[in-house]
Amino acid sequence: MPIRITPLIDVVFILLVFFMLTTRLLPVDYLELGNNTDSRGTATGEPLPELVINANGTVLWQGNDYTLDQLIPALANAGITEANIRAAAQARLASFTQTLSALDSNGIQAHWKRDPDDS
């Protein structure tokens, strides 16, 4: 009597769906974007400036809100080539992506780590 394989395939697909739904591929609370700090020591001077993306899409830097069109020239005039980015709890993903793309296309290296207080 031959073995009927149809029920076995059903079981495999059910197991596959179960594991796909219950497994996370990446940690949700931490995302590292090009954070190469090997070349920097602890005595290199001032810390990197922090940019905070607000819920309305503006970026807070040194106590002032900037649109992207205002932020890029302000960072360039200050001679900043690297910055830390932090998103506010209600900030949209589109705002984060636009800010990251604008910084990258203007030669400013961005480092981002999700703030555990924002979860």
Rounded distance, CA 71 to CA 61, Å? 8
pLDDT above 50 (res 48): yes
pTM of the model: 0.56
Give the contacts of 78 (CB within 8 A, at least 6 positions apart): 49
Q: How far is CA 71 from CA 59, 60, 61, 76, 95, in A?
A: 8, 9, 8, 9, 13
Task: Assign residue 52 the CATH number of its domain.
Answer: 3.30.420
Number of domains in the chain: 1
Q: Write down the pLDDT at residue 113.
A: 63
Q: Is residue 55 part of a domain?
A: yes
Average pLDDT (101-115) is: 81
Rounded distance, CA 14 to CA 37, Å? 44
Tell me the residue range of the domain where 66 lies.
27-36+47-118
Q: Is residue 58 part of a domain?
A: yes
Q: Write down the pLDDT at residue 26.
A: 60
Lowest mean pLDDT among 47-51, 86-90, 110-114: 110-114
Q: Is residue 6 part of a domain?
A: no
Q: Write down the pLDDT at residue 119.
A: 47
Q: Is residue 3 part of a domain?
A: no
Q: Write down the pLDDT at residue 27.
A: 58
| Greater pLDDT, 39 or 17 | 17
